[in-house]
Amino acid sequence: MIFIDDMGYADIHPFGDTKYPTANLDRMAAEGRRFTDFVVSSAVCSASRSALMTGCYHRRIGISGALGPKSEIGISDAETTLAEVCKSKGYATAIFGKWHLGHHPKFLPTAHGFDHYYGIPYSNDMWPLHPDFLTKRKKNPAAKSPWPKLPMISATRGEGYEIVNPDIQPADQEQMTKQFTQRAVDFIQSNADQPFFLYLPHPMVHVPLYASDDFKGKSGQGIFGDVVMEVDWSVGQIMDAIESIDAAENTLVIFTSDNGPWLSYGTHAGSAAPFREGKGTMFEGGYREPTLMWWKGKIPAGTTCDKLCSSIDLLPTVAKLIGAEVPEDASRKIDGKDIRPLMFGDENASSPHDAFYCYYSGGELHAVRNERFKLTFPHRYRTLAGRSGGDGGTPSAYEMQKSDCRCSIWTTMSQKRPTSKTSSPQSSRNCKRLPSEPVKTWATN
């Protein structure tokens, strides 16, 4: 599972007319399947990742927004993660990259099904050089950053964790894509004789953008193009490693992103074209992601699926693929569906979703859609309103607007929600799950 951060729908060549090459992703598309209507649960980091890991809408398990260094909540040990599903069938499991589901020890990946973890606990901009602080410092050179140091963490299940770098610097960020990729390749090769689940959530292309010396200036399209090319290189390394152990015919590789582009960063952000808006909204540009799946001999090569499916579908689908139990019972609802027919290109396959619910902003239902219609409810949302984003890593300011209630048509392609209880800053808390009955449907006159 290769999970990119803040990648727009049109940021790679199989989905957009990029001016920089993405040869390995082109190969993945040519040998695999594109998914043009693949959506995530929410257009922001932690919420989206919680849904990927649990097969649930993020609101069901109580995680919204992006958790930060001061957050006291995280993924509950009552949830069954994708890694735990794989562990139940004897898989080796590892994550290299950005976790972002809680940084306290009980929330770290090795407490939730992963054998190995090496990475950062939250976003790479959550550090003393946060862009907002850099803007402030230009006006006041004596200003002190309110952000703590960003650590690199290494952990092994049953052995605790170690902060291997307590203060990541720009030079360290330049090496992260390569570093995480090499660890992923080593993990694949060391598990050639047993089944494995590898989760590679790259911190890029989230700002601040950093590329290694091998990719700086390589794209001719600025640092954003350089960073995408390095991510593309990483994909090639993973595919080559799988082929080197003769596992291409029994290994599924998925490439997607947590949410759309952070448009306010302009030249340091991608594009969601042809869709509206980006990260931070539940318009299509915020949560529809460029998605590729590759499995030689199983997934039909050079094909496209235009049916609605989602990151919440991956847990139940993987469970079915490996013969594991889907972690659902009378008290526990899994919102995702089995999408094997869509993956394998079955002739009469259709979307398993009669409706998909678009939650944002702490639990507001912003829209509901199916394959042809999308009903958008009145809500406030951020937008650049046609203005350009920022330059050089400094964002432009969003403005807030209100969306009307409207129904869009595509021609192509009584339970109270839990609220957080107060607790002392020293007490980290599990997030709470919504009741198990289905999310209530909607109706209009």
Q: Which of 373, 378, 370, 366 is closest to 408 using CA atoms?
A: 373
Count the neighbouring beta carbons within 10 Å of the beta carbon of residue 165.
14
379-387: long-range pairs with CB below 8 Å, 24+: 379/403, 381/277, 381/280, 381/281, 381/282, 381/283, 382/280, 382/281, 383/277, 383/281, 384/263, 384/264
State how far the alpha carbon of 155 is from the alpha carbons of 44, 46, 78, 95, 163, in Å.
Answer: 26, 20, 21, 10, 9
Using CA of residue 108, residue 230, residue 198, residue 281, what is the dihedral sign? positive
In what helix (H) or strand (E) does residue 169 lie, and over which residues does it extend? none
Of the listed 45, 86, 358, 431, which one is catalytic?
A: 45
At position 204, the amino acid (one-letter code) is: M
> Which pair of tokens denotes residue 78?
């009552």
At position 154, the amino acid (one-letter code) is: S
> Which pair of tokens denotes residue 430?
């599990």
Q: Is 364 exposed, middle or buried (0-12, 13-18, 19+ CB in 10 A)?
A: middle
- Do 3 and 311 form a contact (C-beta atoms < 8 A)? no
CA 93 to chain centre: 18
First to last CA, the chain: 42
DSSP helix/strand/coil, 386? coil
Q: DSSP character for 90? A: T
Of the listed 13, 58, 100, 103, which one is catalytic?
A: 100
- Do 104 and 428 form a contact (C-beta atoms < 8 A)? yes
- Do 11 and 269 form a contact (C-beta atoms < 8 A)? no
Query: CA 188, CA 237: separation in Å to the nearest integer?
Result: 11
Using CA of residue 250, residue 314, residue 207, residue 154, what is the dihedral sign? negative
Q: DSSP character for 138? A: H
Tell me if residue 100 is catalytic.
yes
DSSP helix/strand/coil, 44? coil
Q: Is 347 exposed, middle or buried (0-12, 13-18, 19+ CB in 10 A)?
A: exposed
Query: CA 122, CA 148: separation in Å to the nearest integer?
Result: 12
Tell me if residue 407 is catalytic.
no
Query: What residues act catalytically?
Result: 45, 100
